Amino acid sequence: MSNEFILGQALGHELEMAIGRTDGTVTDVHWLRTGSNFENVILLARNRAKLVRLEESNPSTDTVVRVDRSVRPVYPDFLNQEFINTPKFIALEKLGPPEFDASKLHQWLHPKQKKKAVLGNVIHELLLWKQLIPSCLGYADLLGIQAKGIVFFRQHFKGKTVFGWRSVVPHRDGDLRVPYLVGIGGGVVLYWDWLGHDWGANYPALRFASFDLRPLVT
């Protein structure tokens, strides 16, 4: 059996996602290949070394995110605008408190996500079946978190990619998309991803832990 390492397309995509999720840059990749840096990472992965993490400097004491639900957010043009303007979606979009504490959000995972990556369609179907969609954060809530900046995002989500499953919207070509936030470089970026992708334990759905919205949905 050959020990030659080959970085295929699938593995390359996983590496790219990992680097993006942790705010990595090209400079970090160059650092990784320098000297014994990669060897030290391998030692950490094999439980032969211990990581001592420095705390974020000057963490924010303001943990509250405010959302003006009287103003509809502007959705990207590539999404199905007819669906976005249906009364049912508008009603779902308006659910939620005018402000919430980011430190008290529930980071929900599909049970199988704790051990392996799970398809977005499977995650979405379970949220629908358990009637948890209304208590998930939506697009407007993610925009509110994004506006707080990268230090706030790192402070509360620590390198994770977080999803707003209440705002699943069809692409104009028909496939479903879900919004999520990820820290990249010095900023927080919002993307819309296809539910045909799969996500593991670092990709939780954000839910309101103490604001049960299910009785509001008919």
Whether 214 shows a pLDDT value over 70: the answer reads no
Exposure on the CB side of residue 27, measured as CA atoms within 13 A: 2
Nearest alpha carbon to residue 217 among 82, 102, 90, 72: 90
pLDDT at res. 44: 67
The model carries a pTM of 0.71
Domain boundaries, the chain: 9-45, 79-216
pLDDT > 70: percent of the chain? 76
pLDDT at res. 189: 95
Exposure on the CB side of residue 15, measured as CA atoms within 13 A: 12
Q: For the chain, what is the mean pLDDT? A: 84
Nearest alpha carbon to residue 132 among 166, 107, 106, 109: 166
Nearest alpha carbon to residue 64 among 161, 167, 152: 152
Tokens coding 139: 């697009």
Whether 6 shows a pLDDT value over 60: the answer reads yes
26 — pLDDT class (breaks 50, 70, 90): low
CA dihedral 107, 93, 66, 55 (to 10 degrees): 20
40 — pLDDT class (breaks 50, 70, 90): low
Whether 45 shows a pLDDT value over 70: the answer reads yes
pLDDT at res. 31: 66
| pLDDT tens track for 125-174 | 999 999 999 999 999 999 999 999 999 999 999 889 999 999 999 999 99
Identify whether the C-beta of residue 127 lies closer than 8 Å to the C-beta of residue 205.
yes
51 vs 197, higher pLDDT: 197
* DSSP codes joined into one string, the chain: --------HHHHHHHHHHHHHTT--HHHHHHHTSTTHHHHHHHHHTTSS---PPPPSS--S--EEE--TTSPPPPPTTB-HHHHTSHHHHHHHH-S-SEEEGGG-EEE--GGGGTS-EEHHHHHHHHHHTT-GGGB--HHHHHHHHHT-HHHHHHHHTT--EE-GGG-EEBTTS-EEEEEEEEETTEEEEEEEETTSEE-TT-PEEE-SS---GGG--
Residue carrying structure tokens 């692409």? 171
Burial of residue 188 (CB within 10 Å: 0-12, 13-18, 19+) is buried
